[in-house]
């Protein structure tokens, strides 16, 4: 069944309309009320109208029974994205004091068929909370991520479970495997940062992770994911891009080797701008400051004209904004010196 879409495909050939079932003869189905003059009439299938007609009738009289629970299963088959179906199913589960482990197994199968459906993942979360048992969740999300390693819903559920039940212990090993399989998997890089943030960015962790990421950048230079991860790391510690000399040396070595990845060049723009203002603020060597100033200008021009032409206006704005800030700083500095 396609994610969240109405479908008759999951029903067996011997499935019988509720209107033809003797055990449902006590209930009159409620038709959908589209108003007197609907703009567009949706042509639902006979099965869809039948199931949801009886579901509306069940909800109307607040029937919470085993047959109503089974009815919600059929409704979910037809439209797994219907929030009311899942909410009423939860109401019935509570009223019947139903076996929640059986429900967990059921919703796991539904998720396998609808892995990008918000409502089914939310239902799963609620059942896990009621049970207070996360023991199956990492395996479930790993199976879903094996099908699509960038499934946002699976990652969201996995992070919720890990954070709420303190299951961080082996997560770095898991994401390291995913990154090794696909270094462009931005979701895995994000998960790595999530785990590291929980443990804290100590100097030792930062140094280890900086070495980890520059090794991966060295393998695929034009890969945005590890560059973003590197920037995230360097926002920790002192917050300076140049806080690790090894990063500066690595990036300049790439550039000197002829690498012109836009992610490398963008990083160097920010690095040299940072170094320019560090020299100026410390009253350092003017020639050194001017060198950084020129590097920023040259790199922005290179990005605008060759390596990121689709954002040429952006890079010219960055260059102009840098010149403006540098000029303002120079003017302020002259005032402080009494000139």
pLDDT string in tens for the chain (339-residue length) = 345 455 677 788 899 999 999 999 999 999 988 777 778 878 889 999 999 999 999 999 999 999 999 999 999 999 999 999 999 999 999 999 999 999 999 999 999 999 999 999 999 999 999 999 999 999 999 999 999 999 999 999 999 999 999 999 999 999 999 999 999 999 999 999 999 999 999 999 999 999 999 999 999 999 999 999 999 999 999 999 999 999 999 999 999 999 999 999 999 999 999 999 999 999 888 999 999 999 999 999 999 999 999 999 999 999 999 999 999 987 776 555 544
Which distant-in-sequence residues (6+ apart) come within 8 Å of 221 by Cβ? Answer: 254, 259, 261, 263, 264
Helix axes 262-281, 312-336, angle to 10 degrees: 10
pTM, full prediction = 0.88
Look up 116 and say whether it is catalytic: yes
Distances (CA, A) of 1 to 90, 110, 111, 140: 22, 9, 11, 19
Q: Which is the catalytic residue, given 116, 163, 197, 325?
A: 116
């Amino acid at each position: 069944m396609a994610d969240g879409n109405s479908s008759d495909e999951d029903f067996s050939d011997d499935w019988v309309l509720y209107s033809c079932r003797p055990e449902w003869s006590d209930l009159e189905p409620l038709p959908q009320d589209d108003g007197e003059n609907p703009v567009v009439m949706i042509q639902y299938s006979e099965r869809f109208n039948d199931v949801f007609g009886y579901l509306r009738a069940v909800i109307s009289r607040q029937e919470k029974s085993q047959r109503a629970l089974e009815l919600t299963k059929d409704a979910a088959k037809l439209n797994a994205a219907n929030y009311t179906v899942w909410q009423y199913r939860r109401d019935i589960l509570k009223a019947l004091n139903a076996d929640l482990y059986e429900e967990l197994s059921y919703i796991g199968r539904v998720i396998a068929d609808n892995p990008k459906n918000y409502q089914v993942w939310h239902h799963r979360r609620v059942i896990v909370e009621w049970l207070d048992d996360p023991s199956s969740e990492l395996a479930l999300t790993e199976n879903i991520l094996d099908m699509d390693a960038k499934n946002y819903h699976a990652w969201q559920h996995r992070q919720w479970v890990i954070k709420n039940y303190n299951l961080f212990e082996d997560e770095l090993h898991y994401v390291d495997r995913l990154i090794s399989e696909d270094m462009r998997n931005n979701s895995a890089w994000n998960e790595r940062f999530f785990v590291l943030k929980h443990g804290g960015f100590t100097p030792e962790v930062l140094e280890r992770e900086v070495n980890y990421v520059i090794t991966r950048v060295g393998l695929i230079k034009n890969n945005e994911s590890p560059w973003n991860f590197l920037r995230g790391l360097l926002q920790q510690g002192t917050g300076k891009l140049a806080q690790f000399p090894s990063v500066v040396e690595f990036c300049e070595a790439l550039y000197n080797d002829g690498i012109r990845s836009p992610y490398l060049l963008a990083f160097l723009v920010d690095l040299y701008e940072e170094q320019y203002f560090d020299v100026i603020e410390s009253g350092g060597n003017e020639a050194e400051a001017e060198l950084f100033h020129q590097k920023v200008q040259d790199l922005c021009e290179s990005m605008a004209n060759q390596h990121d032409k689709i954002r040429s206006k952006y890079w010219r704005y960055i260059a102009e904004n840098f010149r403006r800030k540098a000029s303002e700083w120079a003017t302020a500095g002259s005032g402080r010196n009494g000139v």
